[in-house]
Structure formats: structure tokens, C-alpha cells
Amino acid sequence: MVDVLRVTLLGAVLATASADAGGAISTPETTEIVSAKQDISPLYLGLGFTVANFHSCGSGCTYEDKTYGGMLRLGYDLNSNLGFEARVSRSFWGEGPFGGVPLQYMGIFVKPQISLGENFNLYGLLGYGYTENLGNGARLNYFDSDDGFSAGVGVEYRLSSKKYVDEQRGDSEGRWSLFLDYQRLLIKSSVPAMDLVTFGLRYDFDSLRQQRTDTTEN
């Protein structure tokens, strides 16, 4: 009788332990984690120092001088071969027989471009612009204001070949570039030749790109 009771109690203990062990077992669950990666945006902003050349001739007189100023450019690179850009510039200090012809310019452009290695980018500017002479007196005899076709060519040098910002180190490499370009402000036979040379700095904005990762938890 004692042996039967012992066998019965042992069986009950084993059954309880088996049930407890079965309850502790869990099936693996897959969880999708969405993370954000910081990358370079197609949107950029540039600021430069300009040298404007003004050449005019009329009624046996010639006029030529240079003025100096600044230029602001805002653009969007649609892809590695095509972008769009808007520009505003103004010259405010110059030299010449009348102290220089101060020019104000604004334009919008299609920007074909091609990469020359990892750091260099060659681009063109084809678009429409408006130029105004902000001078007075005798200078207005040569040019007042006009609008029409405008074009240019330039090169950019990326200060780092890195294409994105490192979130762990907070690195800003890859967002800054130097640029140098030449523009003919208006391409028309009825206006004086006005050329603009600009040297400056370009900044590429950041963007957040989502990444999805599947992880398994036991």
C-alpha cells in the first residue's frame, strides 16, 4: 500500500513539473524595427563672391569697368545629371570712370551636370534672367534694364568624398563644396556684354531616409 502511494505521488509530481516546463516555453516572435538614416538631400544652398564685368560701346564712346558683390543660389539636383537652380546677385562696389556700374540680377536655370571622379562636378546653366543697372547719370546711357536668355558654366569640388552624414559621430563631411562659375547675364545683341564670375561655398541639406530591419526575439 505504501509503495502504491509513493508511485502515485511521484507520478503527480512529474506531471506537475512537465506542465510547468511546458508553460515556460515561448515561440519566437519577429519584430519589424524602422530606423532613420541621415543622408544628403537634393536641396542645396550656395553663397558666393562675384566679379561683374560691364562692356559697352556706343556713339564712338566705350565704357568698361568691374563691380564686386555677392550671389545667392538655391538649387535642387533631380539626379546626378540634371538639376534646377535659382540665382540672385548684386554688385555694390566697383571701379571705373564713374565708380563702376552696380548690377542687380536674378534668374532661373536648368542645370545639366556630370561627375568628374568622386569630388568634382562640372555643370552648365541654361535659363532666363533679368538684369538691372542700379547706377545713375551717364551710366544709364549704355544700359538700363532687360531680360532674356542667360547661360553659364561652372565646376564644384566636394570637400569630402563621403556621401552621407555619420549619425554615430555627428560627422558633417560631404555636405560642403566649393564652386567657381562663369555667367553671361544676358545673351542679346541689343544689350552690353555683362559677365559674372563667382567663387563661393555650397551647402547640401540633410534628409532622413527610413530603413526597415526584421529582428527575432526568443
What CATH number does the domain containing 172 carry? 2.40.160.20
First to last CA, the chain: 46
pLDDT digits (tens, 9 = 90+) for 104-131: 999 999 999 999 888 899 999 999 999 9
Whether the per-residue pLDDT at 93 is higher than 70: the answer is yes
Structural domain that includes position 125? 34-210
Q: Could you tell me if residue 168 is inside a domain?
A: yes
Q: Could you tell me if residue 122 is inside a domain?
A: yes
> 176-184 and 193-217 as β-strands: parallel, antiparallel, unpaired?
antiparallel
Q: Could you tell me if residue 23 is inside a domain?
A: no
Q: Could you tell me if residue 216 is inside a domain?
A: no
Whether this model's pTM surpasses 0.95? no
Q: How far is CA 16 from CA 21, 32, 163, in A?
A: 9, 37, 61
* Per-residue pLDDT, 74: 97
pLDDT digits (tens, 9 = 90+) for 48-91: 999 988 776 655 556 677 889 999 999 999 998 999 999 999 98
Q: Could you tell me if residue 134 is inside a domain?
A: yes
* Per-residue pLDDT, 172: 44
Q: Could you tell me if residue 84 is inside a domain?
A: yes
- The CA distance from 105 to 90, in Å, is 6
Least reliable range by pLDDT among 35-49, 99-113, 157-171:
157-171
Element (H, E) at 21: helix 2-24
Q: Could you tell me if residue 29 is inside a domain?
A: no
Whether the per-residue pLDDT at 201 is higher than 80: the answer is yes
* Per-residue pLDDT, 85: 97
Q: Could you tell me if residue 10 is inside a domain?
A: no
Number of domains composing the chain: 1
- The CA distance from 67 to 104, in Å, is 11
Q: Are 205 and 149 in contact (CB under 8 A)?
A: no
Q: How far is CA 53 from the centre of its chain?
A: 28
